[in-house]
């Protein structure tokens, strides 16, 4: 075995070269190393969170509620915006460089010459850090799918599916039913299952097959937006009114329901735990006399949900700055935004920066606005400012690559 890297940057470069594919679905490799490191049960209780949209904010609110109630919590998020450390959180704090590269070293030794993907290395490192920290509860954000996602090698006590929409069709299928079936692969007999709104039949079918009675949004709990506040309600409890925060009420409600048997819920606790600033999730900043909204939504369902959340906050965009990855349904995303936009907001499309990068000009051509292909984020920001006025709302969105290029999040 070659000499191991000596810092986190070196390790990240190293783990990105240990498999020929960026994505290689399946659990066999991961499970082999997981068993070798005794990571089958990283914490006494495990919560897995799957879904097309809303996983990250749901995971963070779940973490905050549990911490507020006195539990020790390990949390995973994926992907990161700026630092890899964002992916592994212990008791609300990002893991240190030393903690992470010590985990990588142990994983590298345990795998011998077995090829692991970047995500598999990352997921194993998260489990390793949680196990070594002896957390009470592990909150695991499922990555691309569900059934074949690395974290599905862990048997969870509580399984959450936030939403089902069309995304990653090359891996998960071309219909909501097919994608729902893949996401529902995280469900196990005997679990507590929590389902967000508008689940396809394939998810309910999986629940019936396993003998599960899921807690469903709209039936067993709900979130109702009302101007500057929203209401969380369950049939067996009082309705709780909460001021509108930066995160979507639906995702907060799903997180509340996930921990309802572990945490006493009240308005003060929910507000305290839900008023989070998470980079790229309805991330609102004021700069240069403008309001800048950043969001990582990147598929048509996410676009519609995002526009609804803007409307709930009284935010009317005047300008959209968009960067998207290749392989997405770019035209449907654009149309979903335009269908709910008020007036005629202007657009600028910029280059994404990833192994699936797409140029801003190519994106502009796809949606039929070739003159809006700017390419450079700095130039797009200048154009947005030049074509808007004081107090106007400018949105930067379409991918993690879009928000990480924003100068207002640096």
So what's the pLDDT on residue 168? 52
Per-position pLDDT tens, the chain of length 410: 557 787 888 888 888 877 656 555 567 888 999 999 999 999 999 999 999 888 999 999 999 999 999 999 999 998 888 899 999 999 999 999 999 999 999 999 998 888 898 889 999 999 999 999 999 999 999 877 667 778 888 999 999 999 887 655 555 666 888 888 888 989 999 999 999 998 999 999 999 999 999 999 999 999 988 878 999 999 888 899 999 888 999 999 999 999 999 999 999 999 999 988 888 888 999 999 999 999 999 889 889 989 998 998 899 999 999 999 998 999 999 999 999 999 999 999 999 987 789 999 999 999 999 999 998 999 999 999 999 999 999 999 999 899 999 998 86
If one looks up domain 8-274 in CATH, what number appears? 3.40.1190.10
**For residues 187 and 159, what is the distance between their CA atoms, to the nearest angstrom?**
6
Q: Where are the beta strands (DSSP E) in 278-387?
A: 283-287, 290-295, 317-322, 346-350, 373-375
So what's the pLDDT on residue 7? 83
Alpha helices in 267-344 (DSSP H): 267-274, 300-312, 330-340
**For residues 253 and 78, what is the distance between their CA atoms, to the nearest angstrom?**
21
Can you give the residue ranges of every domain in the chain?
Answer: 8-274, 283-404
Superfamily the domain 283-404 falls into:
Mur ligase, C-terminal domain (3.90.190.20)
In the beta sheet, which residues pair with residue 231?
A: 224, 241
So what's the pLDDT on residue 225? 85
């Amino acid at each position: 075995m070659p000499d191991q890297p000596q810092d986190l940057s070196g390790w990240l470069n190293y783990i990105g070269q240990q498999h020929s594919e960026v994505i290689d679905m399946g659990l066999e490799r991961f499970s082999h190393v997981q068993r070798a490191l005794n990571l089958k049960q990283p914490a006494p209780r495990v919560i897995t969170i799957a879904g097309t949209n809303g996983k990250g904010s749901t995971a963070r609110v779940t973490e905050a509620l549990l911490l507020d109630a006195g539990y020790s919590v390990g949390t995973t998020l994926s992907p990161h915006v700026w630092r890899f450390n964002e992916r592994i959180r212990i008791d609300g704090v990002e893991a240190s460089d030393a903690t992470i590269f010590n985990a990588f070293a142990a994983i590298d030794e345990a795998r011998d010459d077995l090829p692991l993907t970047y995500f598999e290395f990352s997921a194993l490192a998260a489990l390793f850090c949680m196990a070594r920290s002896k957390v009470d509860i592990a909150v695991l954000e499922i990555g691309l799918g569900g059934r074949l996602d690395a974290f599905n090698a862990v048997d969870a006590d509580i399984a959450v599916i936030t939403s089902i929409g069309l995304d990653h069709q090359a891996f998960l299928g071309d219909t909501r039913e097919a994608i729902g079936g893949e996401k529902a692969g995280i469900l196990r007999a005997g679990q507590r299952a929590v389902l967000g709104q508008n689940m396809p039949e394939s998810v309910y079918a999986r629940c019936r097959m396993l003998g599960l009675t899921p807690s469903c949004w709209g039936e067993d709990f709900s979130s109702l937006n009302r101007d500057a506040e929203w209401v969380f309600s369950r049939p067996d409890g009082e309705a709780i009114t909460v001021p509108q925060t930066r995160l979507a009420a639906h995702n907060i409600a799903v997180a509340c329901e996930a921990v309802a048997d572990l945490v006493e819920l009240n308005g003060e606790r929910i507000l305290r735990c839900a008023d989070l600033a998470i980079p790229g999730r309805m991330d609102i900043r004021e700069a240069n006399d403008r309001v800048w909204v950043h969001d990582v939504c990147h598929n048509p369902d996410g676009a519609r949900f995002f526009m609804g959340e803007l409307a709930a906050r009284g935010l009317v965009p005047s300008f959209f700055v968009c960067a998207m990855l290749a392989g997405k349904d770019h035209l449907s995303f654009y149309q979903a935004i335009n269908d709910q936009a008020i007036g005629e907001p202007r657009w600028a499309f910029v280059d994404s920066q990833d192994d699936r990068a797409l140029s801003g000009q190519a994106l502009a051509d796809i949606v039929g606005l070739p003159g809006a292909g700017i390419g450079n984020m700095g130039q797009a920001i200048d154009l947005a400012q030049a074509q808007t006025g004081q107090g106007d709302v400018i949105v930067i969105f379409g991918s993690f690559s879009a928000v990480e290029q924003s100068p207002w999040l640096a």
